Chains A and B, each alone.
Chain A
């Protein structure tokens, strides 16, 4: 398909239509929904990291007034359901053997393998009764040795979590050309090695996970409202794969969802449990996690330990890259789980830089911790961090300028399109230009004066830059369905899932813009298995790329049919009709018909051509993305470090992004800024910590630090729009995750730049004040 020339509403910072209800408190999140006769469910969670369940006594709890049911692992086993399958796209180890997939049941059966794992579901008339009941459940645990850290888990002699996975390894992985990489390393003048930790974090969407399930005994159908980002695939897994109720019998809907960032993509135990219970009790059941449970049970993100090696010549030319990673899956394969440290992190190795060869290997082990699944970026932030940290580190080791080093090695536009050494199709982009524009945006002229000012206050100032190249992902197909109502409104239904990204506005913008209609007439529906037959949900920054393209495709099909209606009206051939600015017309004549008039005509068989049925403009189409797009860009950061305390202030932040066509600049900015905040959070303060006994130390907001308004710098964002991609109808490159891909290396680079005179060349994330202080201290003594 050719690169589209888009007008009509595209590029406009259209204000959001969903804002009215969010601003007036009339949004409907799952906890805002209540059904008559509803009961409440809570989950009893394991306090042990690894233990056999020798007995569970629920008698006293069941006898409590108001308790309706208690379901344990034994009950679940007796029900005979299948486990929750992993959908990892990478399923084989290097030797060709299948990944080790342990059975993931929604309740622990016989043994618990992480603190927080569901052990029983309690259903009662109120949450208070549920909590009283949970205290009366007597579980006898026989503790087993546990292992929390991935490097320990793969060692001989480590506690075995799953019999099927020796050394706790689920799978191993390689990508790239090892021979070529060895050759490049052999020829290069220098090899620089850096050990990196990409710290474990968690998504913390402000709305905790929750769901409301109900069962209609007459029809045998279930309805599940779920704070989930993956409704159609989730429905298939829950209904077909696990419960065996048949997907036609599960109506799965996401109401308004308060953020997700990937942590609401996967299939979780609790909604499955309440579906079982709602049929058992024939009452609606509501379950809502509290925040402490979210920390225990929302799938975590990142957590990779890597050794990165960069081979380069004395003139700075990059020759080869070798990355070895140990990921962490937690106690089970997540819905995507094994893919993140393998396929996810390998694909974009090398970033926008030229390499002769790259070789990547990974091990994905189990540990006695909460399962991990995609969190914004899902493997690519790890890859970008590895790349841009070692560049700065190498520069420091070799006395080179990190900016010059990048300049020298960025892939020039004339080399594109190309396949990277990782097999990634890089179709378009202008990395050197984006790099220069990033630098230009970041007020380098004023830098020296700011350094002096910092010094006068006893502080160190540093500048760091990163050039990220990332790729999109998620489901490649999306359905967009349009129907025109009698009352003049337009129903637009899509199978994608927006949890704050603004699809309700952006997609309506595309539709209304293309058809020349009023955006306020569009009624938006998403994430509902009754509204669209298929749906790719959320993930991999696919919203505009796939969903938006589907909307545009459907819009175009509507225009084509409209042309036939107009042609019949004007008694000319359809190919004489043109459509622009909301009107069908025949150039050189005064025949004209508005889209509205065509819509009004569409139900009248008397005015329709013979080959069209009434309702012909009500069209649904499925768009399938060919290949993923390549968002890329530059992040620059300035930090001020207080060497006495180690406190870091991020004092300036600039971003130049290539997202192809920008549909709604205001929404794009929002995605970037939110992503940058998460990246800064990971770089400076966020950390999920398990102790050696597998207890979650950072189990609430008391211990898990989140960026707040006074932690954030002013962010300046620019867009490079001269390289729209031909890979989808809109020319867009998914923007949703890029912010947190580019930020961590830019921040860490800036801090190391600030402290280089003190001999500090690397600090692992999060760069807490103490870690900074220690790094300075250690550099002094060494």
Chain B
């Protein structure tokens, strides 16, 4: 790995200053993605700004009709949290399926969202549940956050501090995992709130996306049969040795139907 310096700020303000001061700084959250990247010599930051000691970035709480999850909350904490399990069980289930136990002890929701890996699980939840991404300088709604493969609306040095998930009436996450990495080849979250249904699909395309046709059909009638084969064209989907685009298109329909069945049942 290339050499770098480390800074361990204790507050968001200090973290921001550290980023400004660094020649080419990078925030370090759980490290489960960044550290393997550094080991491969695929990145060369001058400074790593460690967020582990920014205590204002930890914690889960219920705020009225939303669950607030601070950015440095570990996947294991989300999975085990009683409030999340009660209010949004699909979110707890999603968190519990990320990577493996060891990854979940370190990986964070903020890190995952900021990275926006096309095969990550959390983006599907953030988009389907219509979450708000709170940063050090503004609030961004989910629909405006994910802009492309590994790209988000975050400005340079902008730090996610919190995610606020409105509590849905019903939601479910279904995942077809890559057998090697256990990332999502196709991961769908379906969420129903105020008679409105949102469907977010991760893994299948270059970036997490919603599908209007599926959402309309399910808003009309929230049953698995509302999803017809071929609703998602295969053309723009990812294709690789693990799953072709045609197969992913097919899987999306299957996963959405199963998610609807689980959310209803």
The reply, when asked whether chain A contacts chain B directly with Cβ atoms under 8 A, is yes
A706 touches B250 (CB 8 A): no
Known A689-B241, A703-B241, A768-B242; contact A773-B180, beta-carbon cutoff 8 A? no
- Complex Cα gap A689–B240 (Å): 11
A 216-250 binary contact with B (CB < 8 Å = 1; else 0): 00000000000000000000000000000000000
A131 interfacial by beta-carbon distance below 8 Å: yes
B1 CB contacts on chain A under 8 angstroms? 128
B102 interfacial by beta-carbon distance below 8 Å: no
B241 touches A773 (CB 8 A): no
B180 touches A705 (CB 8 A): yes
A572 interfacial by beta-carbon distance below 8 Å: no
Partner of B244, one of A647, A702, A770: A770
A704 touches B254 (CB 8 A): no
B137 CB contacts on chain A under 8 angstroms? none
A770 touches B247 (CB 8 A): yes
A697 touches B241 (CB 8 A): yes
Tell me the minimal C-beta distance from B51 to chain A in angstroms. Answer: 26
Tell me the minimal C-beta distance from B101 to chain A in angstroms. Answer: 12
A644 interfacial by beta-carbon distance below 8 Å: yes
B 165-183 binary contact with A (CB < 8 Å = 1; else 0): 0000000000010111100
A 604-645 binary contact with B (CB < 8 Å = 1; else 0): 000000000000000000000000000000000000000011
A398 CB contacts on chain B under 8 angstroms? none
B84 CB contacts on chain A under 8 angstroms? none
A689 CB contacts on chain B under 8 angstroms? 241
B194 interfacial by beta-carbon distance below 8 Å: no
Partner of B247, one of A687, A703, A704, A773: A773
Interface centre among B1, B180, B251, B254, by most A CB within 10 Å? B180
B251 CB contacts on chain A under 8 angstroms? 645
A706 CB contacts on chain B under 8 angstroms? 180
Interface positions of A from 633 to 663, Cβ below 8 Å from B: 644-645, 647
Interface class of chain B by DSSP: loop
Known A644-B254, A645-B251, A773-B250; contact A685-B179, beta-carbon cutoff 8 A? yes
A 679-717 binary contact with B (CB < 8 Å = 1; else 0): 000000101010000000110011111100000000000
B 226-248 binary contact with A (CB < 8 Å = 1; else 0): 00000000000000011110010
A698 touches B41 (CB 8 A): no
A705 touches B179 (CB 8 A): yes
B243 CB contacts on chain A under 8 angstroms? 770
Interface positions of A from 80 to 129, Cβ below 8 Å from B: 128
B250 CB contacts on chain A under 8 angstroms? 773
Tell me the minimal C-beta distance from A641 to chain B in angstroms. Answer: 14
Tell me the minimal C-beta distance from A131 to chain B in angstroms. Answer: 7
Tell me the minimal C-beta distance from B206 to chain A in angstroms. Answer: 18
A702 touches B242 (CB 8 A): no
B179 CB contacts on chain A under 8 angstroms? 685, 705, 768
Partner of A703, one of B41, B180, B254: B180
- Complex Cα gap A706–B179 (Å): 8
B 19-42 binary contact with A (CB < 8 Å = 1; else 0): 000000000000000000000010
Tell me the minimal C-beta distance from B180 to chain A in angstroms. Answer: 4
Known A645-B176, A703-B180, A705-B180; contact A131-B241, beta-carbon cutoff 8 A? no
B247 CB contacts on chain A under 8 angstroms? 769-770, 773-774
B41 touches A702 (CB 8 A): no
B180 touches A701 (CB 8 A): yes
Tell me the minimal C-beta distance from A507 to chain B in angstroms. Answer: 37
Interface positions of A from 275 to 331, Cβ below 8 Å from B: none
- Complex Cα gap A255–B42 (Å): 34
Interface positions of B from 239 to 265, Cβ below 8 Å from A: 241-244, 247, 250-251, 254
Tell me the minimal C-beta distance from A223 to chain B in angstroms. Answer: 31
Tell me the minimal C-beta distance from A504 to chain B in angstroms. Answer: 31
Interface centre among A704, A770, A773, by most B CB within 10 Å? A770
B242 touches A704 (CB 8 A): no
- Complex Cα gap A669–B36 (Å): 37
Interface positions of B from 187 to 237, Cβ below 8 Å from A: none
- Complex Cα gap A706–B100 (Å): 15
Interface positions of A from 702 to 749, Cβ below 8 Å from B: 702-706
A647 CB contacts on chain B under 8 angstroms? 176
Interface centre among B1, B181, B242, by most A CB within 10 Å? B242
Q: For residue A128, which residue of chain B has the nearest CB? A: B1
B254 CB contacts on chain A under 8 angstroms? 644-645
B241 CB contacts on chain A under 8 angstroms? 687, 689, 697-698, 703
- Complex Cα gap A768–B251 (Å): 14
Partner of A704, one of B41, B176, B180, B244: B180
A698 CB contacts on chain B under 8 angstroms? 241
A703 CB contacts on chain B under 8 angstroms? 180-181, 241-242
Q: For residue A645, which residue of chain B has the nearest CB? A: B254
A 747-772 binary contact with B (CB < 8 Å = 1; else 0): 00000000000000000000011100
Q: For residue B181, which residue of chain A has the nearest CB? A: A702
- Complex Cα gap A698–B241 (Å): 9
- Complex Cα gap A284–B98 (Å): 43
Tell me the minimal C-beta distance from A246 to chain B in angstroms. Answer: 41
B242 CB contacts on chain A under 8 angstroms? 703, 768, 770
A770 CB contacts on chain B under 8 angstroms? 242-244, 247
B 132-146 binary contact with A (CB < 8 Å = 1; else 0): 000000000000000
Q: For residue B247, which residue of chain A has the nearest CB? A: A770
B176 CB contacts on chain A under 8 angstroms? 645, 647, 769
B181 CB contacts on chain A under 8 angstroms? 701-703
- Complex Cα gap A687–B180 (Å): 11
A131 CB contacts on chain B under 8 angstroms? 41
Tell me the minimal C-beta distance from B36 to chain A in angstroms. Answer: 9
Interface positions of A from 117 to 150, Cβ below 8 Å from B: 128, 131, 135
Q: For residue A685, which residue of chain B has the nearest CB? A: B179
Tell me the minimal C-beta distance from B252 to chain A in angstroms. Answer: 11
Tell me the minimal C-beta distance from B265 to chain A in angstroms. Answer: 14
A705 CB contacts on chain B under 8 angstroms? 178-180
Q: For residue A700, which residue of chain B has the nearest CB? A: B180
Q: For residue B254, which residue of chain A has the nearest CB? A: A644
B180 CB contacts on chain A under 8 angstroms? 685, 701-706
Tell me the minimal C-beta distance from A64 to chain B in angstroms. Answer: 14
- Complex Cα gap A770–B249 (Å): 12
- Complex Cα gap A128–B38 (Å): 13
- Complex Cα gap A131–B251 (Å): 42
Tell me the minimal C-beta distance from A464 to chain B in angstroms. Answer: 21
A774 CB contacts on chain B under 8 angstroms? 247
Q: For residue B180, which residue of chain A has the nearest CB? A: A705
Tell me the minimal C-beta distance from A781 to chain B in angstroms. Answer: 14
Tell me the minimal C-beta distance from B229 to chain A in angstroms. Answer: 11
Tell me the minimal C-beta distance from A167 to chain B in angstroms. Answer: 28
Tell me the minimal C-beta distance from B183 to chain A in angstroms. Answer: 9
- Complex Cα gap A770–B254 (Å): 13
- 7 A-B pairs besides A131-B41, A704-B180 with CB distance below 8 A are A644-B254, A645-B254, A687-B241, A703-B180, A705-B180, A768-B242, A770-B244
Please list 26 pairs of residues, one from A and one from B, whose beta carbons are closer than 8 Å in the complex, sorted by A's number.
A128-B1, A131-B41, A135-B41, A644-B254, A645-B176, A685-B179, A685-B180, A687-B241, A689-B241, A698-B241, A702-B180, A703-B180, A703-B181, A703-B242, A704-B180, A705-B178, A705-B179, A705-B180, A706-B180, A769-B176, A769-B247, A770-B242, A770-B243, A770-B247, A773-B247, A774-B247
For the complex of A and B, list the 7 residue pairs with the smallest distance between their C-beta atoms, beginning with the closest: A705-B179, A705-B180, A770-B247, A644-B254, A685-B179, A702-B181, A703-B180
